[in-house]
Amino acid sequence: MDPTIKLAHTFPPGPRLGGDVHYDLDESGQTTVRDFNLFYVTAHELGHSLGLTHSSDIGALMFPSYTWYTEDFVLNQEDINRIQALYGPSLNPIQPTGATTPHPCDGDLTFDAITTFRGEVIFFKGRFYIRVNRFIPEAELNLIGILWPNLPGKLDAAYEVSMIDQVRYFKGNKVWAVREQSVLRGFPRDIHSFFGFPSDVTHIDAAVCEEEIGKTYFFVDHMYWRYDENTRSMDPGYPRLITEDFPGIGDKVDDVFQKGDKISISFTNQFNTDLTSE
């Protein structure tokens, strides 16, 4: 793990103490911002017990710096490949597969969610985010837990409400409201009580706030809702069909975000820009 934080250490494979793991009992096993999760630390140290060295893949369990544990954690394919290189492939006819770390330059990469954040555009994929800033030549790839340790991985949607300095993140029927790096008190909340969605809406595919008029558009399957951020209520007459008010993009929206005066809508990994509703 990170050499500046002695959570635990492990003896490499060998006789006597070989493979033993030693813990710093002063550290807590709780999953919070300040504490460290015993599951993640143990899994990393057991990797060392089995002979694995540190990995340069930021998404790998064997990456040298501690990363916050998420409930939907799965082993990275990098870790699987390296342990099989030492001990051979699984005898199971169905070979294990793990998560892969996305590459910002991958032209076939699809995203779980996209939002703006204080002038930047952030793309989400699994446990990762890719941050694009016009002042920085290379996109930043990192784990969601580094910036927002209380958010889940594999988000469904996200959007920024810049007039109140919030970004809202969605997974399933839950919403997290975040300011800077902190989830606001009382969140996550269900989308039914917070926004007024009917009970049969179980997820949000995409969302964007049109800042000039204070309206947020929520895309769910082949329908969309319009929400008034000022009155904190759904506009009457919704939901409406996506194909009727947004012609040319099909009946399913994957992601949407507003940058400047342009609203970009992603459908099957393609983008249409400058789209407006009625």
pLDDT value at residue 76: 92
Residue 18: predicted pLDDT: 77
177 part of a folded domain? yes
User: Would you state the torsion angle of the CA atoms of residues 39, 112, 169, 251, taken in this order, to the nearest 10 degrees?
Assistant: -150
Does residue 194 belong to any structural domain of this protein?
Answer: yes
Strand ranges for the chain from DSSP E: 8-10, 21-23, 113-117, 120-125, 128-132, 140-143, 157-161, 166-171, 174-179, 182-183, 189-190, 206-210, 215-220, 223-228, 233-234, 240-241, 255-259, 262-267, 270-272
| Dist CA 63 CA 44 (whole Å) | 9
52, part of any domain = yes
- Is a pLDDT exceeding 90 seen at residue 173? yes
The answer to whether the CB of 176 falls within 8 A of the CB of 167 is no
In a domain, 2, yes or no: no
Residue 227 C-alpha from the chain's centroid: 24
Q: Could you tell me if 120 and 59 lie in one domain? A: no
**Which residues lie across from 80 on neighbouring strands?**
none
Reported as a single tens digit per residue, the pLDDT across 17-66 is 777 887 765 554 444 444 567 788 888 889 999 999 999 998 899 998 76
Q: Show which residues are catalytic.
A: 45
Structural domain tally of the chain? 2
Q: What is the pLDDT of residues 4-16, one digit of tens each?
A: 345 677 877 878 7
CA distance 214 to 225: 14
Q: Which of 75, 67, 82 shows the shortest CA–CA distance to 99? A: 75
Residues 178 and 236 grouped into a single domain: yes
Q: What are phi and psi of 192, to 5 degrees?
A: -75, -45
- 98 alpha carbon, distance to own chain's centre: 17
**Do 168 and 81 reside in the same domain of the chain?**
no
d(CA 27, CA 25): 5
Based on the fold, state whether residues 215 and 254 are members of the same structural domain: yes
Whether residue 43 lies inside any domain: the answer is yes
Q: Which pLDDT value is given to residue 10? A: 80
Which tokens belong to 148?
């927002």
Supply the range of the domain harboring residue 264. 113-272
pLDDT of residue 35: 56
- Is 136 domain-assigned? yes
| 87-111 confidence digits (pLDDT tens) | 999 888 898 888 889 887 777 788 8
Q: Where are the strands (E) in 26-105, listed by range?
A: none
Does 128 share its domain with 46?
A: no
pLDDT recorded at residue 118: 85
Residues 127 and 264 in one domain: yes
List the end-to-end C-alpha distance of the chain, in Å, as a whole number: 54
Same structural domain for residues 59 and 161?
A: no
230 pLDDT more than 90: yes
The answer to whether residues 22 and 141 belong to one domain is: no
For the chain, the average pLDDT equals 83
Which residues contact residue 136 at a Cβ distance below 8 angstroms, ignoring those fewer than 6 apart? none
Is 255 within the bounds of a domain? yes
The CATH number that applies at residue 163 is 2.110.10.10
Tell me, yes or no, whether 151 and 73 share the same domain: no
Give a yes or no: residue 99 inside a domain: no
Q: Is the pLDDT of residue 177 over 70?
A: yes
CB 161 within 8 A of CB 229: yes
Domain shared by 146 and 242, yes or no: yes
